[in-house]
Amino acid sequence: MQRDMALSFYRTAVGKKAVVAVTGIALALFLLVHMLGNLQLFSGPEALNGYARFLHSKPAIVGLVRIVLVVVLVVHVTATLQLFLQNRAARPQGYRMRRYEEVDASSSTMVVTGPLVLAFLAYHLLHFTFGSAHPSFQPGDVYHNVVAGFSNWWVSGTYILANLLLFLHLRHGLWSWFQTLGLAHPRYNHWRRWFAWALSLAIGIGNISMPVAVLAGWVR
């Protein structure tokens, strides 16, 4: 009975928006934690490699987190795509054009930034996690891999551009997710906007600071 009710709710646009919101918030929180861990780069090779060794010493926990993240990401992407197709099919062409003119820049590019960020995620995994896209990858030496990778200007440029797109995606997403979950109120909307900007900026600036630091020679 409860399963049928959950499925019926998910089939609605509101249900899909709720799923996108919850999974999106979970992914944003992971991005924040992931970025904070990677900032060990500025403390030197011992700090970053020590952090990596600590994670590798907990294979069960890391494995479980990875499985959960994959499931959350798949659900987020699937629900977003289904919602996009459902909304597109339900709206007349003229209405869609009027709506397109009303939304802001980040909202109108969500359908673009999402796939691009997803493509970057695949590259990021091949580059720093598996090493198949990293010419000088050394297993276990995360500091070397990061510095060597970001020493290539086009690799750093790719990461910087991808994180600018991620910023746009997160900024609009965080703003919309609270509204979807019924947490929006005119009295507190400025706090909601501040939170969306603050978290998306923190993640974006934190991630971008690493390739910039390597290119500038501050980290070597």
Contact by Cβ (8 Å): 165, 117? yes
> Domain residue spans in the chain?
2-216
What's the pLDDT at 151? 97
pLDDT of amino acid 104: 45
Per-residue pLDDT of the chain (220 residues; tens, 9 = 90+): 667 777 888 888 888 888 999 999 999 999 999 999 999 999 999 999 999 999 999 999 999 999 999 999 999 999 989 988 887 777 665 545 555 444 444 456 777 889 999 999 999 999 999 999 999 999 999 999 999 999 999 999 999 999 999 999 999 888 887 777 776 667 777 778 888 899 999 999 999 999 999 999 999 9
> Which tokens sit at 118?
């997803």
pLDDT of residue 100: 46
For position 180, what pLDDT does the model report? 76
pLDDT of residue 108: 60
In the chain, the N- to C-terminal Cα span, in Å, equals 59
- Concatenated DSSP letters for the chain? -HHHHHHHHHHSHHHHHHHHHHHHHHHHHHHHHHHHHHGGGGG-HHHHHHHHHHHHT-HHHHHHHHHHHHHHHHHHHHHHHHHHHHHHHHS-HHHHHHHHHHS-HHHHTHHHHHHHHHHHHHHHIIIIIS-TT-TT--TT-HHHHHHHHHTSHHHHHHHHHHHHHHHHHHHHHHHHHHHHTT---TTTHHHHHHHHHHHHHHHHHHHHHHHHHHHHTS--
pTM across the whole model: 0.87
Three-class HEC string of 55-89 = HHCCHHHHHHHHHHHHHHHHHHHHHHHHHHHHHHH
What does the block give as tokens for 112? 């673009």
Which of 157, 73, 154, 150 lies closest to 115 in space, CA to CA?
Answer: 73
> What does the pLDDT read at residue 91?
66
